[in-house]
A and B are shown apart, each in its own frame.
Chain A
Amino acid sequence: MSSAGPTPPGKPQVKALHCPGCGASLTVRSFGNAVTIVCENCRSILDAKDPNLQILQRFKAATGEYRPLIPLGTRGKIRSTDYEVIGFERRTIYVDGVPYSWHEYVLFNPYKGFRYLTEYNGHWNDVSILKALPDVQTDASPPTVKYLGETYKHFQTAKAETSFVLGEFPWQVRVGESVEVSDYVSPPRVLSSEATGDEVTWSMGEYMSGKDIWTTFRLSGTAPEPVGVYENQPSPMSADTRKIWVAFAAFLLVLVVMMIGFDMLARNEQAFSGSYKFDSRDHADASFVTDDFELKGHTSNVEVDTSTDLNNRWIYLNYALINEETGQAFDFGREVSYYHGYDSDGSWSEGGQNDSVAVPSVPPGRYYLRLEPEGDPQYGVTYYSVTVKRDVPQYSFYGLALLALLAPAILLTWRTLNFEHLRWAESDHPPIKLGSSDDD
């Protein structure tokens, strides 16, 4: 794209002219600011600066006719200024022999001059020509461009060929002409340079949704859905991701404060302790009950700890924590086993001599334990002790809460990274593909 400043208009008017190629009437909308006009009837490119409208080129679209999504002559307000669509072109680049085409619309306002819209697969950009040169840093990898304090990363450089034109253009447009286009991105903006010979034109584009374009130009129907991720398309999640990690940090702080608070407030009080001997060779009923004990405070947990002298054997304890007054019982079984040895892999061990379990939500009151140990008859005597503690902090819930808080943040971060991965996969600097090798 290239442009000159507009000639200040006199009284706005539409000038009727005729194409010297086919005689069809031409509508000139840019009040003498256009450099070339394309006849909509015979596709002759005419010199708009020549009073006789000399034919500069006649072209036949190589791959067919293209109808602009925004018809020429349509008006809409962009950044509080009314613009009219006066030109349309299709441009194509080839990457590894594969053609990628996009469309550009020339917009004109008699006071503000020219502006452009680009469209690729449903992704739109509002483009204007830069008035100052950006600072290109070619030694960086990827190369960057600085403009108005913002850094843009190089995305792609390719030869773009004009393959179809329609309407008016503020430069000498030709079908088949090619320029080297380099894009530098900092979503939602993109800086583009177009180089032809020694001349370089810089423009800045800002991403727009198709819905906004349809609203701006009051177009009928709905905008085509965007396909894929575009080079300067803003990530819909990146801002949220940052905010969620900030919120996560705050939650983590609250979690730590809660842990310290509940730890300090917990009774963590021993209510009962007893030591016992179990002879598995004795065939008599091994069940017995303990003395009763008081569980104080509000409804809370009770931790039952079992310590044994097991050595390459197991013991199973049927426990029942029974409320003496209400008859409510908490019934559970605990297996304690400890094995160790030495083999070709070295020493090994399995299990442990101690066990701990938290009985949930036990109301206050007087309780006793009913125990029934079981063991292999050939083991003989096992010594064990049982300790009952009231209101003991359970750290596993903090771990679960941490995971629950972490999961959405990780999920959102993954989606953001995936979005960026898709963006850069289409660039000259694709992300490293996992699992790829030099042999590929």
Chain B
Amino acid sequence: MIRNLYLIYGGVVLLGLSAAQYRGWSLATINEVKNVPRSVRDNPGSYRSIYSSFHHYTGGK
């Protein structure tokens, strides 16, 4: 019983892994934006990234 459950569980894990590899999933934090205007090509400064003005690391030890 437990073995069968484990076989199903393991199958699901490996299927998930296959999907992750094929579709190129990633653990990175990426923000998806729709309909970026074509004008950005000519005027890059008009695009406002949500990541701009983040607090940046200023340190070292």
- Listed in ascending order, the chain A residues whose CB lies under 8 Å from chain B are 237, 240, 243-244, 247-248, 251, 254-255, 258, 262, 285, 287-289, 298-302, 312, 314, 316, 318-320, 322, 324, 327-333, 335, 337, 339-341, 343, 348, 350, 357-362, 368, 370, 372, 374, 376, 391, 393-394, 396-398, 401, 404-405, 408-409, 412
B47 surroundings in chain A (CB, below 8 A)? 287, 320, 370
Question: Residue B40 contacts which of A248, A330, A370, A405 (CB distance < 8 angstroms)?
Answer: A370
B20 surroundings in chain A (CB, below 8 A)? 394, 397
Question: Residue B32 contacts which of A314, A329, A370, A374 (CB distance < 8 angstroms)?
Answer: A329
B60 with A328: CB separation less than 8 A = no
A359 with B28: CB separation less than 8 A = yes
Question: Residue A247 contacts which of B3, B52, B59 (CB distance < 8 angstroms)?
Answer: B3
A324 surroundings in chain B (CB, below 8 A)? 38, 41
B40 with A289: CB separation less than 8 A = yes
- What are 22 pairs between A and B in contact, CB < 8 Å? A240-B2, A240-B3, A254-B14, A258-B21, A262-B18, A285-B45, A287-B44, A314-B56, A316-B54, A318-B49, A320-B33, A327-B38, A335-B54, A337-B57, A341-B61, A350-B61, A359-B28, A370-B44, A394-B26, A397-B21, A401-B17, A409-B6
A322 surroundings in chain B (CB, below 8 A)? 36, 40
Provide the bound-state CA to CA distance between A285 and B25, in Å: 33
Report the minimal beta-carbon distance from B6 to chain A, rounded to whole angstroms: 5
B44 with A333: CB separation less than 8 A = no
A393 surroundings in chain B (CB, below 8 A)? 21
A299 surroundings in chain B (CB, below 8 A)? 23-24
A255 surroundings in chain B (CB, below 8 A)? 14, 17
Known: A287-B45, A287-B47, A404-B13. A394 touches B61 (CB 8 A): no
Report the minimal beta-carbon distance from A335 to chain B, rounded to whole angstroms: 6
B51 with A247: CB separation less than 8 A = no
Report the minimal beta-carbon distance from A346 to chain B, rounded to whole angstroms: 12
B61 with A405: CB separation less than 8 A = no
B25 with A332: CB separation less than 8 A = no
Q: Interface residues of B toward A: which range?
A: 35 or more
Provide the bound-state CA to CA distance between A285 and B40, in Å: 14
B23 surroundings in chain A (CB, below 8 A)? 299-300, 360-361
B41 with A360: CB separation less than 8 A = no
Report the minimal beta-carbon distance from B31 to chain A, rounded to whole angstroms: 4
Report the minimal beta-carbon distance from B21 to chain A, rounded to whole angstroms: 4
B31 with A331: CB separation less than 8 A = yes
Report the minimal beta-carbon distance from B18 to chain A, rounded to whole angstroms: 7
A398 surroundings in chain B (CB, below 8 A)? 17
Report the minimal beta-carbon distance from B58 to chain A, rounded to whole angstroms: 7
Provide the bound-state CA to CA distance between A368 and B36, in Å: 12
Provide the bound-state CA to CA distance between A312 and B61, in Å: 10
Report the minimal beta-carbon distance from A216 to chain B, rounded to whole angstroms: 24
Question: Residue A328 contacts which of B33, B51, B58 (CB distance < 8 angstroms)?
Answer: B33
Question: Residue B26 contacts which of A247, A287, A358 (CB distance < 8 angstroms)?
Answer: A358
Report the minimal beta-carbon distance from A396 to chain B, rounded to whole angstroms: 6
A335, A348, A368, A370 interface centre (most CB from chain B within 10 Å) = A370
A339 with B25: CB separation less than 8 A = no
A401 with B41: CB separation less than 8 A = no
Report the minimal beta-carbon distance from A168 to chain B, rounded to whole angstroms: 43
B24 with A258: CB separation less than 8 A = no
Known: A320-B33, A329-B32, A341-B61. A372 touches B44 (CB 8 A): yes
B13, B17, B21, B49 interface centre (most CB from chain A within 10 Å) = B21
Closest residue on chain A to residue B61 by CB atoms: A348
A394 with B51: CB separation less than 8 A = no
Report the minimal beta-carbon distance from B55 to chain A, rounded to whole angstroms: 10
Report the minimal beta-carbon distance from A213 to chain B, rounded to whole angstroms: 24
A312 with B60: CB separation less than 8 A = yes
A331 with B30: CB separation less than 8 A = yes
B16 surroundings in chain A (CB, below 8 A)? 401
Report the minimal beta-carbon distance from B12 to chain A, rounded to whole angstroms: 9
Known: A287-B47, A322-B40. A335 touches B24 (CB 8 A): no
B18 surroundings in chain A (CB, below 8 A)? 258, 262
Provide the bound-state CA to CA distance between A370 and B52, in Å: 12
